Structure 1
Amino acid sequence: MPRSDEDIANLLRWDEAAALHLDSPFYAVREVISGESSLSAIDSELLAGLGGRCLHPMCHIGTDTVSVARTFSEVVGFDYSEKAVRIAGRTADRAGVRNCHFMAGDVAAIPVASACFDVVFLNWGSLVWIFDLPSVLVELRRVLRPGGHLVVVDQHPASLTFRRGFPPSLMVPVEDYFGERKISVDRKDYAERGADIRHTTVIEARHTMADILRSVLSVFRLVEFQEYDSLSWQAYSGMVVSGRRLWRRKSSPVPLSFSVVAQREPGTGIH
């Protein structure tokens, strides 16, 4: 459960957003129920060749979780919003996906046994809600089997310094890359811009790319790091389709997204 004032403020927003996002084209719930995948081409490429049991933290309403479950033996979606995971569970049931389960709680203290997952998949829009990234990565290492993989794909920290939105906005710098580590943001819902939102204020974490890589390297062996000129949503004006559920601009002053694949080294202890 939330451990800080920031977590509580964000949980109020995510509880409110969960029901709203169920009917949003942004999350493509109907398409996922009908058998389509909500994963971007980057997600699919990163997960290709991996299998077994997968943990999907920060899963929200579970469309990506259900999509991942179609190629893994079992997937557990995890989120701190109980409302979101209840919706996710119903979506999995309606999609006929039986190897997909959901839990709610604190991502820094996941109530599962150690070394019980082959893959941890942390994707789009997750890192801005994780304030103590080193502690969370230690926990994600704990639940991975030796030899298991951590797969992260998200918006690049440098591009977070530019104004973004949905519908797309101009790519105008509004933040200092080396500025505050916690940002209070007052904004409408990113998926349903016209919706009347009660809890408009959220607190977002800001990590530099060095912060992320340093935290990963402290507990994992780095396998691969990539940067991309595309995103899984149309955050900025001038973006065009560049692959399945991906958009890019003709030119960008900074990378728009990144991925990290890391491994819990074989033969290491459980703790």
Structure 2
Amino acid sequence: MPGRRSAAPRARDAPSATLPARDRKSTTREPIIQEPEVFHASGAPGAAEPEATRREAGVTESSRANRGWWDRNADEYQVEHGTFLGDDRFVWGPEGLDEVEAELLGPPEDLGGKDVLEIGAGAAQCSRWLAAQGARPVALDLSHRQLQHALRIGGTFPLVQADAAALPFADASFDLACSAYGALPFVADPVLVLREVRRVLRPGGRLVFSVTHPIRWAFPDEPGPEGLSVSGSYFDRTPYVEQDESGRAVYVEHHRTLGDRVRDVVAAGFRLADLVEPEWPAWNSSEWGGWSPLRGALIPGTAIFVCERD
């Protein structure tokens, strides 16, 4: 989801291989919040600005870097994007496509009584909306600080700090799963996450997730005309990495082509039911990072995958 490389609402968490594994048979409905690790790179007073580069970054390095980044930057993120996201809206991406109109999880009137897992929940805006429809959401995020914002806003549903690649839930615990720009853009092995989601879904369950549209990786992150010319290869899967002076990654995003994303969904055992590419609406005048009405009217910015578990 848009994050540091393409700063926009709904960038969330990434799984961390450093988190201790929990008993997968747990079906707790109590909040679980761990104390975060302390990172100083690019977050301590006087720290040098990280170097942006393209290089390989594996599962452990990516997840460790992104957990630290979101713990350090959650406050700024919520200040910058909190108004756009609201406290209890379900927005799929920077275009502003709302689940009220999209109904990608199904008609709102059918959500009552459904167990729903939100992955990369941030301040849990989507879970709050789901709860208002009568669903039973669980909001999961890797970032301790993001979940503190969820507590600040409030809600009666559980908040779980956990690794999306090792979900602390029993098999077949949920009817639906959703992720609005959460986890998947930041992980080195998306199939691992998708398989975990499939495991905790009941037969007939649905997963809907949104990510930055892969075509955006071929264009510079500029909102004006300079952002409309291809500057790199769409087929270059080399991750975007920000690293400190010692070469330690402090932020990582991973690029997958559209075909890669489809193959990931299938490899995880899902059936792809729909692929939604929201158009930029006339009412949305927002501009941040590489997102703007100009670019949104010409090239897609978000890809939403609707996946079914048979």
Give the TM-score, by structure 2 length. 0.67
Residue ranges of structure 1 left out of the alignment (5+ in a row): 187-198, 241-247, 266-271
Q: Which amino acid letter does the alignment assign opposite residue 178 of structure 1?
A: F
CA distance in 2 between partners of 1:74 and 1:183 (Å): 36
Residues 2/31 of structure 1: CA separation in 2 closer, same or farther (3 Å cut): closer
State the match for 1:57 in structure 2.
119
CA contact (8 A) 2:68 2:250 kept: no
State the match for 1:47 in structure 2.
105
Q: How far is 1:201 from its partner?
A: 4.3
CA distance in 2 between partners of 1:10 and 1:130 (Å): 9
Does residue 184 of structure 1 match 2:241? Answer: yes
Residues 178/72 of structure 1: CA separation in 2 closer, same or farther (3 Å cut): farther
SS of the residue corresponding to residue 77 of structure 1 reads strand
CA distance in 2 between partners of 1:86 and 1:238 (Å): 30
* 288, 296, 301: which one aligns with 1:249: 296
Q: Deviations over 1:162-210 (max 9, x none)?
A: 2226xx4542433321113322147xxxxxxxxxxxx994111111111
Q: How far is 1:116 from its partner?
A: 0.8
SS of the residue corresponding to residue 241 of structure 2 reads strand
Residues 163/113 of structure 1: CA separation in 2 closer, same or farther (3 Å cut): same
State the match for 1:214 in structure 2.
263
CA distance in 1 between partners of 2:185 and 2:235 (Å): 15
Does residue 12 of structure 1 match 2:61? Answer: no
Residues 29/87 of structure 1: CA separation in 2 closer, same or farther (3 Å cut): farther
Q: How many residues align?
A: 233
State the match for 2:280 in structure 1.
230
Give runs of aligned pairs for residues 1-271 of structure 1, distance below 5 A: 2-3=16-17, 4-24=60-80, 26-28=81-83, 31-32=86-87, 37-39=89-91, 40-44=96-100, 45=102, 46-49=104-107, 51=111, 52-91=114-153, 93=154, 97-98=155-156, 100-124=157-181, 126-164=183-221, 168-169=223-224, 170-171=226-227, 172-185=229-242, 201-218=250-267, 219-230=269-280, 234=287, 235-236=289-290, 239=293, 249-252=296-299, 255-265=300-310
SS of the residue corresponding to residue 114 of structure 1 reads coil
Q: How far is 1:64 from its partner?
A: 2.8
Residues 156/125 of structure 1: CA separation in 2 closer, same or farther (3 Å cut): farther
CA distance in 1 between partners of 2:276 and 2:212 (Å): 12
Residues 127/164 of structure 1: CA separation in 2 closer, same or farther (3 Å cut): farther
CA contact (8 A) 1:126 1:154 kept: no
CA contact (8 A) 2:122 2:141 kept: yes
Q: Which amino acid letter does the alignment assign opposite residue 309 of structure 2?
A: R
CA distance in 2 between partners of 1:30 and 1:159 (Å): 22
Q: How far is 1:237 from its partner?
A: 6.4
Residue ranges of structure 2 left out of the alignment (5+ in a row): 1-14, 18-59
Q: Deviations over 1:18-75 (max 9, x none)?
A: 1223333x1228942xxx5252335331234252111111112222332333224211
Residues 200/224 of structure 1: CA separation in 2 closer, same or farther (3 Å cut): same
SS of the residue corresponding to residue 151 of structure 1 reads strand
Identity of paired residues, percent?
Answer: 24
Q: Which amino acid letter does the alignment assign opposite residue 65 of structure 1?
A: S
Q: How far is 1:261 from its partner?
A: 1.0
SS of the residue corresponding to residue 74 of structure 2 reads helix
CA distance in 1 between partners of 2:144 and 2:171 (Å): 23
